[in-house]
Amino acid sequence: MTPDLFQEMVEKLTPHLKKETTFMGEPLEVGLKLAAILHFLATGNSYPSLQYSFRVEASTICKFLPEVCKAIIEFYKDEVLSWPKTQEEWKEVAEMFSSR
């Protein structure tokens, strides 16, 4: 992933993932969360391994992993995922499947 693409993702996802400061302290940066999750998805490393790589408790990673994944899916699903919408498009898919 290029740095520009990563920065674009951070900017697009920040409104969905930004947390407010509380009495418990400062929230984790969206870029840190995104980097940890992309690393997890790319490598399949364990939470303890991510904990040491990103200096974030494994229990915290467990909490924000689903949230970040949902935000990625919600934001990029229409741009990246497409499926047939008309009967003719479904027939094309069926014909391609049959030919394989």
Of 29, 20, 98, the C-alpha closest to 68 is 29
The full DSSP string for the chain is: --HHHHHHHHHHHHHHH----BTTBPPPPHHHHHHHHHHHHHH---HHHHHHHHT--HHHHHHHHHHHHHHHHHHHHHHH-----SHHHHHHHHHHHHH-
pLDDT of residue 8: 92
pLDDT band at 76 (very low <50, low <70, confident <90, very high): confident
Average pLDDT over residues 58-77: 91
Number of domains in the chain: 1
Q: Percent of the chain, pLDDT > 70?
A: 100
pLDDT of residue 100: 81
Please state, rounded to an integer, the average pLDDT across all residues of the chain: 89
Tens of pLDDT, residue by residue over 5-53, are 999 999 999 988 888 787 877 888 999 999 999 999 999 989 899 999 9
Domain span at residue 92 reads 3-99
Model confidence, pTM: 0.73
